[in-house]
Amino acid sequence: MSELGQQLREARLQKGMSLDDVQEVTKIRKRYLEAIEAGDYKVLPGSFYVRAFIKTYAEAVGMDSDELLEGHKQDVPKTEPEATMEPVIQKRASRPTAERNMKWLPTLLMWTFPILIVVVIYLVAINSNEPKDTPPTGSNDQTQTDQAQKPQTPDTNTPGDGAQGGENTPDDSANEDTTGEGTDGTEGTEVDEPEDTVPGETTVTQDRTEGKNTVFKVTGTSVKVEIVATSEGKSWVEVYRGNNTSGEKLAFQMLENGQSLSFDMDRQGLFVKSGNSAATTITVGGQTVTDGKSTSRIVLEPGEGSAGTSDTE
């Protein structure tokens, strides 16, 4: 094992991370990480990737990558310039392609015009077969008949009618008051009272498993998520907004000796990863959440009725 690889391995172990954890953080294959720790750079794809992979590995375990590479520049292969013949080859190969496309152009045009003519004839035939709109016969006579059958209502605004029914009588006004209103002026229909709800109540339910992730549905308002390290151990903790590591990074650090982190969960949810679950306690709204694994990967999704979920529905 090289001295550079030994330093990277010690930094990784101090953070409580395995090669699988570094692979997930850096997106570098595990066999390449093992080759870097062993100093076997021939396994890597090329000299350019050697420096890039070492730099990414060092940053993932909290080391200064520039200082590490400068201290071991005699052990790391230098980056070789890439060949520049590919653009020239592509430029020369483009001529046969253009000539081949020109050969197809006359054939394409020859078939395009007959197809357009057939489409036009088809559309004209459809339009000519559609029946023209004709006004319904006898509609005016039916309207006049309906108007003749409608009873005439007396004009209440004509002066001088008096007792002949032109004005509303006390009996009529009394009948108009019987519209379902009560004696206090409110309508007599029943109104369903809203059910009592407990403000601030949080419900956490294990919903499903997606690969290495365990998904929990969280329902409630103002949900507080807390992560606490026990005094007997330490754990590498990562927290992202959303349901995977591609969301906004909220935490990326080592917790130990009772240190804690606290977050307010919103409608995007949270992704929590703990490198040492036995030394970490995760609570959601005061309820302990665990997936029973040595390395926990927990996704917290807001359920229906949670704060902020109405914006996305």
The helix (run of H) or strand (run of E) holding residue 287 is strand 287-288
Report whether pLDDT(150) > 80: no
Among the residue ranges 7-16, 78-87, 126-135, 160-169, the one predicted with the least confidence is: 160-169
Report whether pLDDT(271) > 90: yes
What's the pLDDT score for residue 144?
A: 53
Report whether pLDDT(22) > 80: yes
What's the pLDDT score for residue 127?
A: 85
| Nearest by Cα to 227 from 295, 277, 292, 294 | 277
163 or 123: whose pLDDT is higher? 123
Task: Quote the mean pLDDT of the chain.
Answer: 74
Report whether pLDDT(262) > 90: yes
What's the pLDDT score for residue 147?
A: 55
**Residue 63: pLDDT band with limits 50, 70, 90:** confident
The first and second tokens of residue 275, run together, are 């490198």
| Nearest by Cα to 49 from 36, 65, 60, 38 | 36
Report whether pLDDT(160) > 70: no
CA 231, CA 251: separation in Å to the nearest integer?
A: 20
CA 202, CA 292: separation in Å to the nearest integer?
A: 22
Report whether pLDDT(37) > 50: yes
Dihedral sign for Cα atoms in the order 147, 153, 155, 160:
positive
Report whether pLDDT(83) > 60: no
What average pLDDT score do residues 273-296 get?
89
The reported pTM is 0.39
Report whether pLDDT(198) > 80: no
What average pLDDT score do residues 36-40 get?
82
The first and second tokens of residue 267, run together, are 């409608």
| Residue burial 252-266, b: 16+ Cβ < 10 Å; e: rest | eebbbeebebebebe
What's the pLDDT score for residue 142?
A: 53
